Amino acid sequence: MSPEFQRAVTALIAAIPRGKVLTYGRVAELAGYPRHARHVGRLLGTAPQGALPWHRVVGACGRIARPGTESADWQRALLEAEGVTLQARGTVDLARHLWHPEAGQQVGRTPASA
C-alpha cells in the first residue's frame, strides 16, 4: 500500500462534511483506487483512532461495519449526534446522507500537473 493511498484516503475521510457519510467503496474510488474498499477498511483499522472521522464511513448499503462491537454502537451514536437519520435496521439512509463530493474538492491524487 503506497503512502499516497493512505494520504488520499485519510484526507478524503477527513473532508467528509458533518452529517454526511461515504461508503468504503466510494472512498476508495474517490481516492483514486477503485476496488480498494477493503484497503480503506484496513487503513481505518490501523489508523490512529480519533485522528479522523472514521464513523462517517459505512458499508455499501449504509450498513455499519462489524455490528455487535462497541465500535459499531459508538459509530451509530456519533452519526445520530450529527443528525444522520438511521433506518430501522440501524443503517444509514444513503439517499439522504451519502456525501456527494463536488468537482474540485477531490482530495486524492491532487493534480499537481494541472
- Is residue 32 a contact residue for DNA (CB under 7 A)? no
DSSP for 3-20 reads HHHHHHHHHHHHTSPTT-
Distance in Å, CB of 91 to DNA, minimum: 11
Give the nearer residue to DNA in terms of CB position, either 49 or 104. 49
Binding DNA by CB under 7 A: which of 60, 80, 85, 93?
60
- Is residue 97 a contact residue for DNA (CB under 7 A)? no
Binding DNA by CB under 7 A: which of 61, 83, 93, 96?
61
Q: Going by C-beta distance under 8 Å and a sequence separation of 6 or more, which residues neighbour residue 110? A: none
Q: Going by C-beta distance under 8 Å and a sequence separation of 6 or more, which residues neighbour residue 74? A: 55
The stretch near DNA (CB under 7 A) out of 9-17, 30-38, 80-88, 106-114 is 30-38
Q: For the packed helices 3-14 and 24-31, what is the interaxial angle rounded to 10 degrees?
A: 120
* 63 closest CA partner among 52, 48, 75, 78: 75
Binding DNA by CB under 7 A: which of 17, 32, 53, 71?
71
Q: By CB under 7 A, name the binding residues for DNA.
A: 1, 23-26, 35-42, 44-47, 49, 54, 59-61, 63, 65-66, 71, 75
